[in-house]
Amino acid sequence: MTVRVERDKTTGVAVVTLDRERRHNAIDLATAAELSAVWREFRFAEDVRAVVLTGAGTAAFCTGIDRDVEVAQPASPYSTDDPLIAIGPKAGDLWKPVVAAVNGMACGGAFYLLGESEFLIASSSATFFDPHTTYGMVSAYEAVYMAQRMPFGEAARMSLMGTAERLSARRAHEIGLVSELTEPAELLPAALRAAQTLAGLPTEAVQGTVRALWSAKQAALQQALAQAPALIRLGNLAPERQAELFTARRRAPEPRVR
C-alpha cells in the first residue's frame, strides 16, 4: 500500500498520507488507484467527517506522476488518458472537507490534489512549482486548478516558468494559496486542529457548505478542464524528447525561490 490511512473515531478525522517517501511521494498507477478508492470509501464512512491530506517525510508533499510510470495512450488524436484525473476528492464525489498539509516540494500533479482540497496549510519549508514546460509538456489540468486558487498572474508565472523558479511558502501565503503558515514540526498539529474543528460541526451543514463553495466555480472549472486533453495532445513533445530534457535537468542551475 502506498497510501496510509489513519482514522480517529473519537474526533472524526482521517489522515491520508502519501507514503512513497523514497520517491518524493510521486504517484504511480497503484497510488492513483488507492487514492480514488479512499475518497469513494470515505463517502460511506460515517466516522470520517473531515480529512487531512499530507505526504510522508519532510522533503516533499507530492511531486506528481512518477516518471517511471508508462501510461498506454489510445491512437485517436482526440483523446488522452490521464492517470491522475481521478485522484482528487472531488473527482471521487467526496464533499467532506479536506485540509492539505504541505511539507517540502509540491509540484506538477500534486496540484490535482491541492486543487481539490478546501484549504492548504503549509510548512515554512514548503515550495510550489510546475515543471511541465521545462520538459516540453503542456501544463493543462495543473494550470487550470491553480488559476482557480491563485491570482492569475501568479498562476501564469508558476505554470510557465517551469523548474527555473519555485514559489516559497511565504509567498504562497501572501497571495492566498496557503491559508496558514507553520514551522515544520507544527504542520500536522495545525492541520489536525482545523480538521477536528470541522469534524465537530454538524456534518450535513459542513458538507452542504463545501458543495456550495465548489458550485461557485465548478462550471468554469469543468469547461476549462474539458480543453485539457486536446491542448496536451497538441503541445506535448514526443515522450523520447521529454525523457532527454528530463535527463538533462541535472545540469540546470539551482531554481530561484521567490
What tens digit of pLDDT does each residue of 64-111 get?
Answer: 999 888 887 778 777 777 889 999 999 999 999 999 999 999 999 999
Average pLDDT over every residue of 202-223? 94
Q: How far apart are CA 202 and CA 63, in angstroms?
A: 35
The model's pTM is: 0.93
pLDDT in tens, 170-182: 999 999 999 999 9
Grid cell listed for 5 = 490511512
pLDDT in tens, 157-206: 999 999 999 999 999 999 999 999 999 999 999 999 999 999 999 999 99
> Which domains can be identified in the chain, with CATH numbers?
1-71+82-184+205-258 (3.90.226.10)
Q: Give percent of the chain above pLDDT 90.
A: 79
Nearest to 24 by CA among 129, 103, 89: 103
Residue 240 has pLDDT above 90, yes or no: no
Residue 250 has pLDDT above 90, yes or no: no
Residue 98 backbone zone (phi > 0: left; psi -120 to 50: alpha; other: beta):
beta
pLDDT for 88 equals 97
3-state secondary structure of 246: helix
pLDDT for 71 equals 80
Going by C-beta distance under 8 Å and a sequence separation of 6 or more, which residues neighbour residue 46? Answer: none
How far is C-alpha 124 from the chain's CA centre? 18
Per-residue burial over 143-155, b if 16 or more Cβ lie within 10 Å, else e, is: bbbbbebbeeebb
Average pLDDT over every residue of 9-24? 97
Q: How far apart are CA 177 and CA 122, in angstroms?
A: 10
pLDDT for 72 equals 78
Q: Taking the CB of residue 111, how many other CB atoms lie within 10 A of it?
A: 27
Q: How far apart are CA 258 and CA 81, in angstroms?
A: 34
Max avg pLDDT among 162-166, 227-231, 239-243: 162-166
More confident residue, 148 or 77: 148
Residue 102 backbone zone (phi > 0: left; psi -120 to 50: alpha; other: beta):
beta
pLDDT for 215 equals 94
pLDDT for 29 equals 94
